[in-house]
Structure 1
Amino acid sequence: MAGVDPDDCCRGAHAAAQRGEFTQATVWDACRTGIRDAIESQLDDEQASPVIIDGLPTIGKTQHATDIAFGLDVPAAILTHRYETRDEHLNLAAEHQKTVAEIPTLDRDCPTRRGDHGSGWAERINDYRSRGASPTYLHYYLQDALPCMQDGDCPYLARWDAVEGADVVIGGPAHAALDRVVDDRVVIFDEDPGTAFRTEFDANQLSTAISTFLRRNDDLPVDNHFGLIGAATNESMDAIRDAIRDELSDNISIASPREAVDDDDGHAEAPTAVLAMLELGGPIIGDTAPAEYDWDDQLREEAGLDYVELPDGSQVVYDHAESRIIIRRPPDLTDSRAVVGLDGTPVEELWRGRLGVDDIESWRILCDDCRARYLRDVIGYTFVQTTSHVKPYSSGEYVNRRADFGLIEAVENRHETAPGVITTKSAAERLFEESPSEPFIDIQRVTNRIADVKHYGALRSSNDFTGTEVGIVLGSPHPGDRPLQITAALEGYTAVRDDEGKGTDLDYGIPDRPFLRHYREHKIAQAVLRFGRTTAATVYIHTGVLPEWLAEMVTAGPETVMIDERSEGQRGVIRALLDEAPGTAAEIAKRERVSIGEKQTRDWLKRLRSEGYVSRDDSQPYTWAADGLADAPHTARVRLPDLE
């Protein structure tokens, strides 16, 4: 690993050897040094590759990035998704003497977009933005009409002056596409830029945007989407194809923001889509690919996708099954002084493609052994894995409300504190918003026992569960085959599901499964480490797919956990005892809420007594009464491991 003494297993161990102790401060020092060394290696050598700092959540990457950026002799840009994280960087910047500026955004800085001049104008601006027009372009193109431009420049434009001269600027990943943000600066991406540089057209949007663009441009020899497909697939139309290429490929950037504002159906990336369809059209309908393009037969035949890189550097994937295209336009970072990414669970293949760089290095702050030492011994995490099953919860289809509610109630009982819960968005809706189809499954009873619910998609850089002592991660995320295949195709890989591999053995035929790990195991790890963070926490992980390094830290595994779902009959007995007076088995069996006979009722009462939730007197026949039953997990009998 670059920059580390070969006798040390990782930067954390190296820092500990120098200090003579392995503490949180030691690991934070290692992270700070790693970020600084990554920047200096590129400042000292223009040929050095960009670097990803592979550092777990909890080791202070955000604070270190701010401190280091202000300590540099060159300007810097820190780019991160969430406004909350940008505010954190800005607050930390107050401790430094150099100038700092937040890169303006429409959401925060444009009165028109904020709705100060009415919802009609706000919706109009939103519509233009959704069709690819940049904020700056909109203000200059519409300046005579925009309310925020009537008394001088809109605050959005005015605040760019401060950006131009600031020592450190703070904004979002999409700002990396602007030369005035990244040129001659050290650029620090605080977390993976994700889909910041992607545009997607579904079949209807694609056809409409292309036809609108062709109809408006008299210099092009076809005037609608079908004409373009004909030109792409007809061998006799070489001259037409060449004319379209000549007209579009001469531009530095094929994209045209004017297309987004001159027609209700236009889009700034319509010219890109036209040129992409011209290059991709041959194999979509015809049998023979154009001779000038080297098609990836495996990608087309096995995954049903095609890929092309256009002259302006934009990359396009075409999805045959859904007739849609995905356009990615990576930023040009060639004139940046240095580029560093901060990521708790990085995948090099994704970082390379998303930043548009040929090579990138990943520097790990902690090796697997030191990660375990840090998380368990220093921070004080305890991890309990409650199932060996994958629990694919992204669609919500496989959510098991009885088992999940039982686990939540049992965890709250054990720790006597409300746990935080992280699951997929669909699972959260299914669990806590949809009415149960079975009797006596009480959503309110469960939500009263949890601190908060978040879904995987809302966790990027989130600190919402910092300090939460108990957490539960329910189910695993997976976007579905198509999003994963498209992500892989953009990075030059063909991802095809192996029919033999399912569950924990799911495989897409790519060594080390980088894209599956990114979408599934890595998101689980990020979720798990949202709890506690700087303080000890116990986290229950209700899925069987964990990164190997995290699986090795599990204190208690699925074999130590029992979740026995309660039937409708047993739930009815619990409800009857909670809502009505004590009674004999025969009396309870006759109550309206109970759907089972006297013998089964007696058997369930005995089981509840063995669990410690029901008592009986010494009379004959016995009279049964609730005894702590209000605290019992009502949808499942749950046994958790003793963690003392």
Structure 2
Amino acid sequence: MTGSDPEDCCRGAYAASQKDEFTQATVWDACRSGIRDAIESQLSDSQSSAVIIDGLPTVGKTRHATDIAFKLDAPVAILTHRYETRDEHLHLASEHQKTVAEIPTLDRDCPTRQGEHGSEWAERINDYRSRGASPTYLHYYLQDALPCMRDGDCPYIERWDAVESADVVVGGPAHAALDRVVDDRVVIFDEDPGTAYRTEFDANQLTSAISSFLRESDSLPIDNYLGLLAVATNESMADIQDTIRDELTDTESISQPTAAVNNEDGHAEAPTAILAHLEFGGSIVDDMGPDYYDWDDSLREQAELDYVELEDGAQVVYDRTESRVFIRRPPNLDGARAVVGLDGTPVEELWCGRLGIDDIESWRILCDDCRARYLCDVIGYTFVQTTSHVKPYSSGEYVNRRADFGVIEAVANQHETKPGIITTKSAAERLFEEPPNEPFIHTERVTRRVADVKHYGALRSSNDFVGMDVGIVIGSPHPGDRPIQITAALEGYTAVRDEEGKGTDLDYGIPERPFLRHYREHKIAQAVLRFGRTTAATVYIHTGVLPEWLAEMVTAGPDAVEIAERSEGQRAVIRALLDGGPGTASEISNREGVSIGEKQTRDWLKRLRSEGYVCRDESQPYTWSPNGLDDAPHTADVRLPELN
């Protein structure tokens, strides 16, 4: 919804023009009307495309989706990852009169899975699930033995009756794979479904699952994984290949879930992996047109991956370097009356592939200018970027404890509060759990000044930092080249790292870098906006990569921040003053743990005095004393900009 007039630049501006004010309420109105219009456009025209509502994490998408769901004449399914978000939808539903049901899950509804019948049974159920057996299948296949089915149906089974008849159902994205959840309903995905429809086999799991299945299948002419490889790569064995294809596509002769339950190494998707092996090396894409590059060959030769889409809709990527297989089964949404996704940082290519649809439209609630106006002027965000370095922290290898601790302590000092921290999981472990590998670095000095630490992977739809007025985002996430390449391959792209491009110039040869942005810049933006949300917040961003629209909102950048890491000698002087109290430079240099000489000790004392953490008397020689040194950032001297 764009145009030349200011009020036509986005839905938020248009909503504001109707009331002559740009407020949180008008932006929320724009989000609500966007969701409603996206649904109604599809209800009135079956040929209309599915829609993603591109709305920042602060515009109330969850509440609006629930309100609209109960005002529609059509039944609705709301699907979201986190149980906390499902509970929020269910709580909001209590304000309405229509019937609502939570789609049952093993975690919440099966006593056996919850451990009420012993840990052995709980672990057994978990094992079956990890091997691809569905919860409903397990309950009926194991009916005579399963403890929760002995005195009638398990609550998991019983609660499906309410789902069938409810006006609104709330569940997870995996439930979209069930026709009884999505058929004849408006389906709302609250956040990107992610890997909900994906199964991964590493080399050992792949070999075991395929060999286990083949050993139990008397009608097949091979009985192990090596035999499959021999057949699949030998053109003279085309007859055997056809025999395997015919047998594995005959659903009456092979029960996939049964194989997963009966065989210790079995998996429900083993037949899919077998079929895919027969097709690897064949044509991948045949409809891209003569002007498109040869994705088949470039994918194999440059990325060392292979791809096939099987007749049943399964999409399979094979990692040739590590013998791993990734299987994705997008849901069949043909029976849905409308499909709407809610996402703060959407990538259309990912939404289409993950939902198994050919086309999707992205409707932005706020254009870039209005995003800045909303976040900075209406909500009251202040963004400070403290470094120009990318700081790739996913592995934890490049974590800089001295600079990071210095920034945390400096922020806590400047705002006289305990900030929240968001970083990668590996960086959180390295910073706050592993003992420092340098002397005189004290983790507890930092942790006692932090409100909470979360990692990027735990943030999906999280409200843990709502209302927190100071936060720090440390380091950038990057899963590595292979996950990006595999994600791209599933969507029809060959991603190969440009060896010349690093850091902010990192590139995989795909225009506009959609998959890198998804894994890196978008996750950073989602993290930044976890703080405050509906109230003012100051967020320090300790990485050099941001989405362009967010970078434009930075109040103070790296040029306004000074970070001087403290050497081991300076840290030793700080510790000597704190432990031993005042002293001359000579006395302090001779204290335990101080390995630098008197002159260098005096230089460090002067520097600490310039920072305001040490004072001296006028005697000769000077006596140096701590002056607020307990609060000094002990690993780095950090100068932050003064904010109005």
Confirm or deny that 1:575 pairs with 2:575. yes
Check whether the contact 1:189–1:340 (CA below 8 A) recurs between aligned residues. Answer: yes
Q: Is the 8 A contact 2:7 2:13 kept in 1?
A: no
Structure 1 residues without counterparts, runs of 5 or longer? 284-293
Alignment of 1:12-161 (within 5 A): 12-161=12-161
For the 8 Å contact 1:229–1:281, the answer to whether it is kept is: no
The answer as to whether partners of 2:247 and 2:253 remain within 8 angstroms in 1 is: no
* CA-CA distance at 1:262 after TM superposition: 0.8
Contact 2:6 2:13 in 1 (8 A): no
RMSD: 1.6
Q: Tell me the residue number matched to 1:367.
A: 367
CA displacement 1:89-141 (0-9 Å, x = unmatched): 00000000000000000000000000000000000000000000000000000
The 3-state SS of whatever aligns with 1:46 is coil
User: Hey, what does 1:551 align to over in structure 2?
Assistant: 551
- Shift of residue 226 of structure 1? 1.2
CA contact (8 A) 1:589 1:596 kept: yes
Contact 2:578/2:626, CA 8 A, preserved across alignment: yes
Q: Does the Cα contact within 8 Å between 2:202 and 2:324 map onto a contact in 1?
A: yes
How far residue 260 of structure 1 moved from its aligned partner, in angstroms, is 1.0
1:168-215 Cα offsets, whole Å, 9 max, x none, are: 000000000000000000000000000000000001111111111111
Listed one character per residue, the Cα deviations across residues 37-87 of structure 1 (whole Å, up to 9, x for unaligned) are 000000000011100000000100000000000110010000000000000
Whole-angstrom distance in 1 between the partners of 2:579 and 2:273:
64
- Conserved in 2, the CA contact under 8 Å of 1:254 and 1:272? no
Unaligned runs of 5+ in 2: 284-293
Give the secondary-structure state (helix, strand or coil) at the position aligned to 1:471: strand
Asked if structure 1 preserves the Cα contact closer than 8 Å seen for 2:613 and 2:628, the reply is yes
Q: Structure 1 186/231 Cα, relative in aligned 2: closer, same or farther at 3 Å?
A: same
| Kept in 1: contact 2:74–2:185 (CA 8 A) | yes
CA contact (8 A) 1:392 1:478 kept: yes
Q: 2-side partners of 1:620 and 1:637: how far apart? A: 28
In 2: Cα distance, 1:313 partner to 1:227 partner? 26
* Letter paired with 1:422: I
Indicate conservation of the 8 Å contact 1:383/1:540, yes or no: yes
CA contact (8 A) 1:232 1:281 kept: no
How far, CA to CA, are the matches of 2:438 and 2:281 in structure 1? 51
Give the distance between the partners of 2:424 and 2:611, measured in 1 at CA: 32
Residue equivalent to 2:274: 274
User: For each residue in 1:408-430, what CA deviation from the matched residue of structure 2 results, as whole angstroms up to 9, or x when unmatched?
Assistant: 00000000000000000000000
Q: Structure 2 counterpart of 1:360, which letter?
A: I
Distance in 2, Cα, partners of 1:259 & 1:121: 19
**8 Å Cα contact 1:50/1:361 also seen in 2:** yes
Partner residue in 1 for 2:348: 348
C-alpha separation in 2, matches of 1:250 and 1:612:
79
Give the residue type in structure 2 aligned to 1:299. Answer: L
Residue 387 (1) aligns with residue 367 (2): no
2:539 is matched by which residue type in structure 1?
Answer: V
Q: Tell me whether 1:310 sits opposite 2:310 in the alignment.
A: yes
Aligned to 1:538: 538
**Does the 8 Å CA contact 1:608/1:614 hold for their aligned counterparts?**
yes
What is the aligned partner in structure 1 of residue 334 from structure 2?
Answer: 334
Query: Could you say if the C-alpha distance between residues 107 and 81 of structure 1 is closer, same or farther in structure 2, counting changes exceeding 3 Å?
Result: same
Offset of 1:4 from its aligned partner? 12
User: Contact conserved, 1:4 with 1:10, CA < 8 A, in 2?
Assistant: no
What are the within-5 Å matches in structure 2 for residues 409-558 of structure 1? 409-558=409-558
Check conservation: 1:393, 1:477, Cα contact below 8 A.
Answer: yes
Matched residue SS, 1:326: strand
Residue pairs, 1:102-251, within 5 angstroms:
102-251=102-251
Q: Do the aligned residues in 1 keep the contact of 2:569 with 2:595 (CA within 8 Å)?
A: yes
Q: Structure 1: how far apart are the matches of 2:6 and 2:551? A: 27
Q: C-alpha distance in 2, partners of 1:213/1:77?
A: 36
Give the 3-state SS of the residue equivalent to 1:591 in structure 2: coil
Letter in structure 1 aligned against 2:553: M
In structure 1, what is the Cα distance between the partners aligned to 2:405 and 2:563?
Answer: 10
Deviations 1:537-590 (A, max 9, x none): 000000000000000000000000000000000000000000112100000000
Q: How far is the alpha carbon of 1:384 from its aligned partner?
A: 0.1
| CA distance in structure 1 between the aligned counterparts of 2:136 and 2:5, rounded to whole angstroms | 48
Q: What's the offset of the Cα at 1:597?
A: 0.2
The answer (yes or no) to whether the contact 2:79–2:173 under 8 Å persists in 1 is yes
Q: Secondary structure at the match of 1:296?
A: helix
Structure 1 residues 380, 2: CA separation in 2 closer, same or farther (over 3 Å shift)?
Answer: closer
CA distance in structure 1 between the partners assigned to 2:213 and 2:6 by the alignment: 58
How far off its partner does 1:280 sit?
Answer: 1.4
Q: CA deviation at 1:229?
A: 1.0
Q: Check conservation: 1:522, 1:547, Cα contact below 8 A.
A: yes
Give 2:25's aligned amino acid: A
CA distance in 1, matches of 2:338, 2:508: 34
Rate the CA distance shift 1:412–1:269 in 2: closer, same or farther, 3 A.
same
Structure 1: distance between partners of 2:5 and 2:342: 22
CA–CA distance in structure 1, aligned partners of residues 119 and 642 of structure 2: 57
CA distance in 2, matches of 1:464, 1:252: 49
1:2–1:363 CA contact under 8 A, matched in 2:
no
Change (3 A) 1:166 1:238: same
Question: Which amino acid counterpart does residue 606 of structure 2 have in structure 1?
Answer: K
Question: 1:255–1:271: 8 Å Cα contact kept in structure 2?
Answer: no
Moved more, 577-586 or 216-225: 216-225
Q: Which amino acid aligns with 1:178?
A: L
The number of residues matched between the two structures is: 635
- Distance in 2 between the 1:257 and 1:243 partners? 22
User: Which residue identity is paired with 1:441?
Assistant: I
Conserved? CA contact 1:252–1:312, under 8 Å: no
Partner of 1:288: none
Compute the displacement of 1:247 (Å). Answer: 1.4
Displacement, 1:249? 2.6
TM-score by length of 2: 0.97
Residue 267 of structure 1 aligns to a residue whose secondary structure is coil
Q: CA deviation at 1:255?
A: 7.7
Report the CA distance shift for 1:252/1:450 in structure 2 as closer, same or farther (over 3 A).
farther
C-alpha separation between the residues in 2 aligned to 1:253 and 1:34?
A: 48
SS at structure 2 position matched to 1:361: strand
Match of 1:638 in 2: 638
Alpha-carbon distance between aligned partners in 1 of 2:149 and 2:410, rounded to the nearest angstrom: 59
User: How far has the Cα of 1:7 moved from its partner?
Assistant: 6.2
Cα distance in 1 for partners of 2:366, 2:317 equals: 36
- Give yes or no for contact 2:7–2:17 (8 Å, CA) kept in 1: no
- Is the contact between residue 255 and residue 272 of structure 1 (CA under 8 Å) also seen in structure 2? no
C-alpha distance in structure 2 between counterparts of 1:6 and 1:602, whole Å: 61
* Shift in CA distance, 255/575, structure 1 to aligned 2, threshold 3 Å: farther
Residue 306 of structure 1: SS of its match in structure 2?
strand
Question: Residues 255 and 75 (structure 1 numbering): CA distance in 2 closer, same or farther, change over 3 Å?
Answer: farther
Distance in 2 between residues matched to 1:281 and 1:523, nearest whole Å: 35
Check the 8 A contact 1:485/1:494 in 2, yes or no.
yes
> In structure 2, what residue type is equivalent to 1:480?
G
User: Equivalents in 2 of 1:251, 1:505: separation in Å?
Assistant: 49
Structure 1 letter corresponding to 2:609? R
Matched residues in 1 for 2:353 and 2:346: separation?
13
Hey, which bits of structure 1, 4+ residues long, moved more than 6 A?
Answer: 2-7, 252-255
Q: Cα distance, 1:257 vs. partner?
A: 1.1
Q: What SS class does the counterpart of residue 422 from structure 1 fall into?
A: strand
- In structure 1, what is the equivalent of residue 290 of structure 2? none
